[in-house]
Amino acid sequence: MFTLNDDERAINDTARDFADEFLAPNAVEWDQKKHFPVDVLRKAAGLGMGGIYIREDVGGSGLTRVDAVRIFEQLATGDPSIAAYISIHNMVAWMIDTYGNDEQRQRWLPGLCSMDQLGSYCLTEPGAGSDAAKLGTKAVRDGDEYVLDGVKQFISGAGTSEVYVVMARTGAPGPRGISAFIVPKDTAGLSFGPNEKKMGWNAQPTRQVIFEGARVPAANLLGGEGDGFRIAMNGLNGGRINIAACSIGGAQSALDKAVAYLADRNAFGARLLDSQALQFRLADFKTELEAARTLLWRAADALQNDAADKVEMCAMAKRFGTDTGFEVANGALQLLGGYGYLAEYGVEKIVRDLRVHQILEGTNEIMRVVVARSIVGAA
């Protein structure tokens, strides 16, 4: 797992080259202008990044979860916000690939893998975040259709995406009453709130997704009635390790910027990089990132192989990776001094982008709950 073969190294290098050419030079401008670069996303899809771990018969790349976290880390060195959206898009495609019937797979996945159609994941609601099982969006069967009513909150890509995987209540309270639906953007009764004003992640839109009597064909039910919560949670296992990878990649970029600055900056007659105190900080940052990366690869391997401990491993990797990524990026900003606070150097953007990673895909407090349950349950 820890020594890349030639094929794995080529995949890694392709992702890094893409980030260096198409993401990094534009990241600050996209952030400032709140520009969602759909054309660049489609370039990424041309390299297989629209369906990284999707089966090949529908246009996917058929790669492993370990391949995926390496790809997302490299993409995030260019722009964590765009890398994170590609992760969400892949999670949507994976749910359809894994739980969809053949007709659903053939209908939706070619467009998602090419990113001619973008995907969004709709679980969170204004009143249901960490306690997702209490979601209130309803789907009522009416003949050959379901009628959806409710509001989803904090939905990445909303308003631009063409495909929405939506969790809605078809049965009794609790997780067993939740089902999953594939909802196209042009569905009557589907609308979107304004683009949220956010601390970071400005290069991707975040809006409410609103359902008011939205009629969805019964054929768009993903899995069976009552399968939605299980589908959502299984999707989040992958989302958690991907977002950890984005944190590690963003932090690595911030650290690289700090090292370059310290090598170029002189104070008190010497390069800042020659200060042993600063070298010790850099050594700690490198060590912490490598520890996070090692745990991440271990979790990705557990998920790929359906290991018994995959859920807690993904939770641990997400908590540790996103906390470490933010702390390293924030520390890198400090090393740049006043320049770190300026937008043109790009480090303050990374800090803002990585902060939300500690919240989404399950807050890091919830990750601790998941891990604690695995300890208590085994006692």
Residues tagged active-site: 361
Cα dihedral: 353, 358, 361, 363 (round 10): -150
Rounded to the nearest 10 degrees, the angle between the axes of helix 80-99 and helix 65-78 is 150
Bridge partner residues of 142 (DSSP): 145
Q: 128 in helix, strand or coil?
A: strand
The Cα–Cα gap between 171 and 279 comes to 58
Alpha carbons within 13 A on the beta-carbon side of 136: 9
- Please give the distance of CA 29 from its chain centroid, rounded to a whole number: 21
Query: What is the DSSP annotation of 249-312?
Result: HHHHHHHHHHHHHHHH-EETTEEGGG-HHHHHHHHHHHHHHHHHHHHHHHHHHHHHTT-TTHHH
CB 295 within 8 A of CB 286: no
Measured from the Cβ of residue 291, the count of other Cβ atoms closer than 10 Å reads: 13
Dihedral of CA 210/236/329/18: which sign? negative
In a 3-state reduction of DSSP, which class is residue 150?
strand
